[in-house]
Structure 1
Amino acid sequence: MTSTTHRSAAEIGRTERGPRAVPVLGAQRAAADLSHVDTVLGNGLRVLAVRKANVPMVELRLRVPFGGTEPLHSATAEVLAETILTGTARRDRVEIDTELALIGGELRASVDPERLAFTGKALASGLPTLLDVLADALTSASYVDDEVSREAARLIERLAVSRTQPRVIAREALLKHSYGDHPVTREVPQPQDVRQVTPESVRALHHAAVLPRGSVLVLVGDIDPDQVVGDVENALRGWASERAAAALLELPELSGGEMLLVPRAGAVQSQIRLVAAALPRTDARYPALQLANLAYGGYFSSRLVENIREDKGYTYSAHSGFEFTGSTATVGVDADTANEVTAAAVLETRYELGRLALVPPDADEIESVRQYAVGSLVIATSSQAGLAGQLSALTASGLGVEWLAAHPNRLAAVTAEEVAQAALDFFAPARFTGVVVGDAESLAPKLAAIGEFTVGEAGPK
């Protein structure tokens, strides 16, 4: 007779001899084994083409630096991203969609304060068509008046909803608290700014800013890298300029200090966001810092999660991780909590920062996060899309396949002393600043008791 008794995860994870050991990672093929070409074309476009032939597809990522300081740059850039693929001199919207569908493909555009990005994929046999559609959009996007007006109206509707979301409010509040009026704070444009965008201003921005010099195209898939570089050069021969794409202004230096309480009247939950300066991937100390971050809050078994989620139940999700912008890097901490435990969660979050700095991870903890770091990297790059995304992010720092291939060895070489030093240097509570978004009436007295909190202007309800 079959038993219907189910064992819990905790029971499965233990044996009569104690906790079930985590299997050792097996040998993995290095990314360097992948055939690739990394070169710069005559028009200044960097092309990174990688052969990964596990499926007969190809992934495309184009990253165009897209910094701007004009007050309406963010709004105009958003409308541009929404309409750049709605028609060209040779194709209307229906023709673009039809041609992409016939090659099993898709092509999308998005924008943020740092870059305009194109994300696409297609059957490998359809890559010439995908490149042709991309080239058409880059060189002759038409921005028909009706299309611009229609997409701008849709964008305004989405923004009106988006700007009421707690996580969006918290993100904007953190950026403004950290960087003042720097363009990086304008990730989500104001609806009233979008209303001022005209088809003429979108066309002008395209002409001035959608440029190949300084941009990076990543192609990953069932391709011949050497041949593909020639195909790209031929397809994009009309995309040229002596000017370079505009990089985002360098971020101001981030320093720790006073926290900001952003009032959101009537909110029943609060958003906790902390941030501190970190190290770019190009720094020799980055692998040690990466392991220190994982130990703190970078994965489910981290100290922060064990404390405020598993032990105390203050939050469903807590996390820490890196953000890379230009040549700068930050480490951020985020958690959403109920009002009645917000102050306690902030206190415990800071406590774990101090404990990491003063009581660094031991050998077993380091080995656990090391295996997680290597394993998650292998998983993230196992698919064509994952590898393309990883490489596109790395190219923003001038890195490529070689860095990705060597990173597991860098992680393996990190010592306990290096992790301890990274924790002390970068996770001390005094280095962090941040915001709490929530109901000020209920939160202010408790947060004031913790200290270093001021109350800011009210955010959206």
Structure 2
Amino acid sequence: MTATTNAVTHRSAEEIGRTAAGPRTLPPLGPTRAVPLPDVEEQTLPSGLRVLVAHRPGVPMVELRLRVPFAAPDDAGTAEHPAVAELLSSTLLTGTESRDRVGIDDELAAVGADLGVSVDPERLQVSGSGLSAGLPDLLSVLADVLTSATHPDGEVARERERLVERISVARAQPRTIAREALQRRRFGDHPITREMPTGEEVAAVAPEQVRALQAAALVPGGSILTLVGDIDPGATLAQVEKALAGWVSDTLARELSPPPPITPGDLQLVHRPGSVQSQLRLSAPALRRDDPRYAPLQLANLVFGGYFSSRWMENVREDKGYTYGAHSGVEFVPAGAVLGVETDVASDVTAAALLETRYELGRLGAVPPTAAEVDAARAYAVGSLLISLDNQGGLASTVAALAADGLGVEWLREHPARLEAVTVEQVAEAALEFFAPSAFTGVLVGDADVIGAGVRALGGVTGP
């Protein structure tokens, strides 16, 4: 008997991509597939808490987002507020009048749930998720910590020590130094710049201050609770109203005042002795989501530096090799928005990277985006938006963020169509208006003794 062996021939990627007539042509993109968005039912409770609920089946889970405006008071307590707020967020889940830390953790774990707390100059946010069937238990724990968290002395002392250590590590990081310098450069001494307290400020906080801040500022009036998942909206609204009936206050949550508008100007050179890298951070005014020109600005930003195939990334990473990553994007602030441009580069190419960044900003207006560039950016914008909404957590976070801006799910439904309707000419207009180098200010963090002469020679740089 003779065995016959059939030889297997493996083709290379180049061979697969070609035919006898030449390279294979890619098929055109098909129509954008819409992601069905649920209706959002809304109710404002007598306490002033705004509740948003959306039914999103698929997995038997529910996502929770509670946003409480948490700005500093307009009095002598403003300076210490960030430190006290950080400790409040760290100890909110460490004990109540009826549950200790272990009890809270065990009760949440029993229904497959979790809760986490974060705070910044604008808001305190409680985020979590759990099994849909366990929503009453999740709401019970949430109500308990909102109304009777005790912030035990021992827990405050323990978290205070940990927080001081974390802040010490964070403040030594170049990105933290650059972020703080940028915030001061564009917003001066506005409270929005106080994103991280100092270790000394945290160390000085007493448990009584944490408990006093909870009583004064962690209030329902002006807050927004968003729930998305495999839940019945009507029944969920009733559950929330019952569970949070005891969370009341005569005061409203404190909204952060709008920061001053960005003033274009020179970059500030921030000296970081011994640094082998430089952090380049530029910023300019931008638009909020409800502005008719937001969609053209969004596409112009993508063409410039908003995704991997952008002009700036192609220049400073793919062509020049100055950096591993470069990114631009819109950041929303109270009553406004700002455009951010950032990259980290080695010290010896800092001046060259700054030169190429300014070149690409100017080129975006002088050599407007082509139809191909706009179409690629549009496909990315629509696709990434739909992907971000294709799960309960992404939808909950987006609905919560939009609600804080006074927008609803209709904005989400209509935004892909707005992006599809943007013309190349509108993108060119946005590029010329918002990406002109003269519209920017910012900071350059690095060893001034190494990079100073080179960047100053380019002009528009002040500092040591």
Which of 205, 210, 226 is 2:213 aligned to? 205
Alignment deviations for residues 300-355 of structure 1 (CA, whole Å, 9 cap, x no partner) = 10111011111111100000011111111011011010111111111111111111
Mapped to 1, the partners of 2:270 and 2:170 lie a distance apart of 17
Deviation at 1:7, TM superposition (A): 3.5
If the length of structure 1 is used for normalisation, what is the TM-score?
0.95
Which of 35, 39, 44 is 1:29 aligned to? 35
Unaligned runs of 5+ in 2: 1-6
Deviation at 1:248, TM superposition (A): 1.0
Match for residue 107 of structure 1? 115
1:374 aligns with 2:382: yes
Mapped to 2, the partners of 1:20 and 1:156 lie a distance apart of 55
SS in 2 for 1:335: strand
SS in 1 for 2:41: strand
Rate the CA distance shift 1:245–1:405 in 2: closer, same or farther, 3 A: same
Match for residue 354 of structure 2? 346
If the length of structure 2 is used for normalisation, what is the TM-score?
0.94
One-letter code aligned to 2:46: G
Match for residue 428 of structure 1? 436
1:166-205 correspondence runs (5 A): 166-205=174-213
One-letter code aligned to 2:40: H
1:278-297 correspondence runs (5 A): 278-297=286-305
* Contact 2:220–2:249 (Cα < 8 Å) also in 1: yes
Alignment deviations for residues 83-129 of structure 1 (CA, whole Å, 9 cap, x no partner) = 01100111100000000000001000000111000010000000111
Deviation at 1:169, TM superposition (A): 0.9
Deviation at 1:35, TM superposition (A): 3.4
Which of 44, 50, 53 is 1:49 aligned to? 53
Unaligned runs of 5+ in 1: 457-461
Mapped to 2, the partners of 1:25 and 1:75 lie a distance apart of 50
* Contact 2:35–2:390 (Cα < 8 Å) also in 1: no
One-letter code aligned to 1:417: E
Mapped to 2, the partners of 1:103 and 1:159 lie a distance apart of 33
* Contact 2:66–2:224 (Cα < 8 Å) also in 1: yes
Deviation at 1:182, TM superposition (A): 1.1
Mapped to 2, the partners of 1:164 and 1:381 lie a distance apart of 36
Which of 144, 149, 153 is 1:136 aligned to? 144
One-letter code aligned to 1:38: E
Across the aligned residues of Structure 1 and Structure 2, the Cα RMSD in angstroms comes to 1.6
Which of 25, 37, 44 is 1:40 aligned to? 44
* Contact 2:300–2:430 (Cα < 8 Å) also in 1: yes
Mapped to 1, the partners of 2:436 and 2:165 lie a distance apart of 42
Mapped to 1, the partners of 2:212 and 2:160 lie a distance apart of 16
Match for residue 267 of structure 2? 259
1:21-420 correspondence runs (5 A): 21=27, 23-31=29-37, 34-69=38-73, 70-420=78-428
Match for residue 443 of structure 1? 451
SS in 1 for 2:160: helix
Deviation at 1:30, TM superposition (A): 3.6
Mapped to 1, the partners of 2:250 and 2:429 lie a distance apart of 46
Alignment deviations for residues 32-91 of structure 1 (CA, whole Å, 9 cap, x no partner) = xx1320232221111111111110000000110011151110010000000011001111
Mapped to 1, the partners of 2:8 and 2:377 lie a distance apart of 39
Mapped to 2, the partners of 1:24 and 1:361 lie a distance apart of 23
Deviation at 1:233, TM superposition (A): 1.0
Mapped to 2, the partners of 1:14 and 1:177 lie a distance apart of 53
The structure with the largest alpha-carbon Rg is: 2
Mapped to 1, the partners of 2:28 and 2:182 lie a distance apart of 38
Mapped to 1, the partners of 2:171 and 2:417 lie a distance apart of 43
Deviation at 1:382, TM superposition (A): 0.5
SS in 2 for 1:316: coil
Deviation at 1:14, TM superposition (A): 7.4
Mapped to 1, the partners of 2:312 and 2:272 lie a distance apart of 26
* Contact 2:39–2:409 (Cα < 8 Å) also in 1: no
Rate the CA distance shift 1:357–1:193 in 2: closer, same or farther, 3 A: same
Rate the CA distance shift 1:393–1:6 in 2: closer, same or farther, 3 A: farther
* Contact 2:53–2:227 (Cα < 8 Å) also in 1: yes
* Contact 2:56–2:392 (Cα < 8 Å) also in 1: yes
Deviation at 1:3, TM superposition (A): 5.0
Rate the CA distance shift 1:96–1:20 in 2: closer, same or farther, 3 A: same
Rate the CA distance shift 1:38–1:13 in 2: closer, same or farther, 3 A: farther
Mapped to 2, the partners of 1:56 and 1:355 lie a distance apart of 50
* Contact 1:326–1:396 (Cα < 8 Å) also in 2: no
Mapped to 2, the partners of 1:363 and 1:439 lie a distance apart of 42
Instruction: State how many pairs are aligned.
Output: 452
Identity of aligned residues (%): 55
Mapped to 1, the partners of 2:384 and 2:443 lie a distance apart of 30
Rate the CA distance shift 1:370–1:140 in 2: closer, same or farther, 3 A: same
